[in-house]
Structure 1
Amino acid sequence: MSTIEDVARLAGLSRTTVSRVINNHPYVSEDKKKRVKFAMNTLGFVPNSAARRLRKQRTETVAVLVPRVTNPFFSRLIESLEIFASDHKYKLIICQTRYLPEKELEYLELLSTKQVDGIILCSLQNKWSIVEPYLQHGPIVMCNEYTDEAHIPMVKFNQAEGAYVATKHLLEQGHRRLLFCSGSDKSSMIVQHRKKGFLHAVSEHKEQVDSVEFVEDAYDMEDGCRVFRDLLDTKENPTAIFAGGDEVAAGIILEAKRHQWSIPEQLAVIGFDNQLLSEIMEPTITTVCQPVDQMAKKVIELMMEKIRTKTYKKQEVYEFELELMIKGSTVKHTTVLA
């Protein structure tokens, strides 16, 4: 078992400085704090007070890390997770990372200080090699987001197939100029797989496609409005947009209508998540439905199993299929395509 001296040695600092960091002393530089925390995580060191407090007992609490609690998809997911966790007499702590790597690490500390029994990771802002040391302290289950590098349970949706079916629908409606709209794809496997599905559909219909464009960093309605305003400056406007979420799709539609565009006659729009927003918009938004309740149930089952068995480092991948809900933003007559 690692000691405070081991932490000091690895951090290249004195035992006194390490003690000050552990006890939140105000006069310690941020650089030294980072060095100490890195050494503690690497060595699996837990301060004695926390270790004694919870060494043999459970907190019956799990932390859920999401990028934005205001995103209706994550709000719905959190609600479902709480319901299923409650069935096991467990509570949830909701942690919003705001897509910031440092916030993600801050909340992962809840596991190393034994304040929670496990962590549900709904997005991944750091490289997996940075997150992996926290497995020394308890289970991490990845939910929604995923990475091939992690040897932990992962519950995800078939994003590539969902994007493929949605794009194929646009192409079957005769659209020749397409825009793929997403968040950042630098680290998100979700975005990368949706783009893969999108391009797969485009490649199958390449004879009829005139142009394909890509826009990143679109997350909410305001971003959707910006996306539409930006496309007005292009020489040839797209006739169909694959949006990364219903919020973005709604923003695109609202801004298009402000400019007197007709949806879907002049511009077809597909969203993602099948949020309530997709039903109350005019026109209603064609969207890809994700079975959130099924995902939440499986995530909680896996978390309870890992807490009980204490076998954390094992890759188990569970994937759910998606469904395209065809509504008014792509066709005038609405139907459901299974």
Structure 2
Amino acid sequence: MATIHDVARLAGISRTTVSRVLNCHPYVAEEKKQKILNAMKQLNYVPNSSAQRLRKVKTDTIAVFVPRITNPFFSHLVEVMENEAAMYGYQLILCQTQYSKKQEVKFLELLRTKQVDGVILTSIENEWRHVQPYVNEGPIVICNEYDDEAHVPSIFLNQVEGGYLGTKHLIERGYKKIAYCAGSERRSRLTRDRRKGYELAMKETGLDINEDWYQYNAISIEDGKKVFHRIKALKNRPEAIFTGSDEVAAGLLKAARDSGWRVPEDLAIVGFDNQPLAELLGLSTVKQPIEDMARHTMQEMIRAIQGKDHKKVTNLSFTLIHRTTT
């Protein structure tokens, strides 16, 4: 958050003169005044007195950040949050970051300018040090994603366990050559931990891992189709694949069947989340307790807004759902 020193430095004018402008002192040259106002605008600077007034404003509105509205996992999560929020007299606004760091920071300004009473992050695009300053502006609760540096209420699942559970299921079904598919490992702690779970299950059973079997940047049905065709082109093909999304798994299933492959005989597939799509297609998947996550998250947010004690971490559990793709 910008300070009066930052304004003075950017404007190239003394802190004393900046203070005079903020206090409406009449004896400041118009040119200097304009430079100061321009600097304040560039830095989104809010004087302390104004900030104090803003902090007293109550909007009865909570912002929920999601990376993709079209992902059924997030749609379901937000729907349950909205129902829970309504019980306490709050409404939600949905902010789609599209995995953009810049967009995430832009939306965080809603908290600083007191257009919302709190913010829920279902993914984290920036390093936490860039999010941390906004914690001083109002409550932030994390749901689904997690960061060790974030000392705010966090509702999540142990993704190492999730990755292990999905991979172990394939191993127990007799598959030995198992691929791993996920979104961006660089950006997401969640994805990195699922990979750890996958590798733990493979190494625990003494199974080899082929680097060609790692597939990343897959988040949609279309991405799943592309992953299938990359696997199909491999000389050493996997027998099964664990994915981080039911959408991706659905794309894989569609492309495999279109190519005349039998599932699970030629390629076994495990999804993630247990979206309605998974039940419809008969996808084996790792179920996340979405409704419990959503309710716990909103309850922690309400407690934070009301200034009550709240839990720092709520860790829920996964369930493996076995269907026809394994």
Question: SS where residue 271 of structure 1 aligns?
Answer: strand
State how far apart, in whole Å, the 1-side matches of 2:199 and 2:209 are. 14
After superposition, where does 1:118-197 map in structure 2 within 5 Å? Answer: 118-197=118-197
- How far off is 1:7 after superposition? 4.0
- How far off is 1:317 after superposition? 1.2
Task: Choose from 37, 43, 52 the match for 1:19.
Answer: 37
Q: Normalising to structure 2: TM-score of the pair?
A: 0.88
- Whether the 8 Å contact between 1:151 and 1:315 is mirrored in structure 2 is no
State how far apart, in whole Å, the 1-side matches of 2:209 and 2:307 are. 55
- Give deviations 1:171-207, integer Å, cap 9, x for gaps: 112212111000011131111111111111001111x
State how far apart, in whole Å, the 2-side matches of 1:64 and 1:193 are. 24
Whichever residue aligns with residue 322 of structure 2, its letter is: I
State how far apart, in whole Å, the 1-side matches of 2:296 and 2:257 are. 41
Whichever residue aligns with residue 323 of structure 1, its letter is: T
**Paired position in structure 1 for 2:29:** none
- Whether the 8 Å contact between 1:46 and 1:113 is mirrored in structure 2 is no
After superposition, where does 1:214-233 map in structure 2 within 5 Å? Answer: 214-233=214-233
State how far apart, in whole Å, the 2-side matches of 1:152 and 1:214 are. 33
Question: SS where residue 248 of structure 2 aligns?
Answer: helix
Whichever residue aligns with residue 291 of structure 1, its letter is: P
Q: Normalising to structure 1: TM-score of the pair?
A: 0.85
1:85 counterpart = 2:85: yes
Question: SS where residue 94 of structure 1 aligns?
Answer: strand
1:245 counterpart = 2:241: no
Are the structure 2 counterparts of residues 225 and 13 from structure 1 closer, same or farther at C-alpha, using a change threshold of 3 Å? farther
- How far off is 1:16 after superposition? 2.7
**Larger deviation: 186-195 or 316-325?**
186-195
- Give deviations 1:45-84, integer Å, cap 9, x for gaps: 35876764x4423111110001001000000000011011
Task: Choose from 298, 302, 305 the match for 1:304.
Answer: 302
Whichever residue aligns with residue 186 of structure 1, its letter is: R
- Whether the 8 Å contact between 1:7 and 1:18 is mirrored in structure 2 is no
Are the structure 2 counterparts of residues 143 and 238 from structure 1 closer, same or farther at C-alpha, using a change threshold of 3 Å? same
- Larger Rg, first or second structure (1 or 2): 2
Question: SS where residue 132 of structure 1 aligns?
Answer: helix
Whichever residue aligns with residue 252 of structure 2, its letter is: I
- Give deviations 1:283-313, integer Å, cap 9, x for gaps: x1000111111111111111111111188xx
- How far off is 1:128 after superposition? 0.6
Percent of paired sites with the same residue: 42
1:285 counterpart = 2:303: no
State how far apart, in whole Å, the 1-side matches of 2:47 and 2:286 are. 44
**Paired position in structure 2 for 1:319:** 315
| Count of aligned positions | 306
**Larger deviation: 295-304 or 103-112?**
295-304
Question: SS where residue 309 of structure 1 aligns?
Answer: coil
State how far apart, in whole Å, the 1-side matches of 2:48 and 2:254 are. 53
Are the structure 2 counterparts of residues 16 and 48 from structure 1 closer, same or farther at C-alpha, using a change threshold of 3 Å? farther
Are the structure 2 counterparts of residues 307 and 203 from structure 1 closer, same or farther at C-alpha, using a change threshold of 3 Å? same
State how far apart, in whole Å, the 1-side matches of 2:96 and 2:258 are. 33
1:108 counterpart = 2:104: no
- Give deviations 1:209-229, integer Å, cap 9, x for gaps: 464621110000000000011
After superposition, where does 1:260-271 map in structure 2 within 5 Å? Answer: 260-271=260-271
- How far off is 1:11 after superposition? 3.7
State how far apart, in whole Å, the 2-side matches of 1:230 and 1:248 are. 14
Q: Which runs of 5+ in 1 are unaligned?
A: 24-32, 331-338
Are the structure 2 counterparts of residues 165 and 2 from structure 1 closer, same or farther at C-alpha, using a change threshold of 3 Å? closer
Root mean square deviation of aligned Cα: 2.2
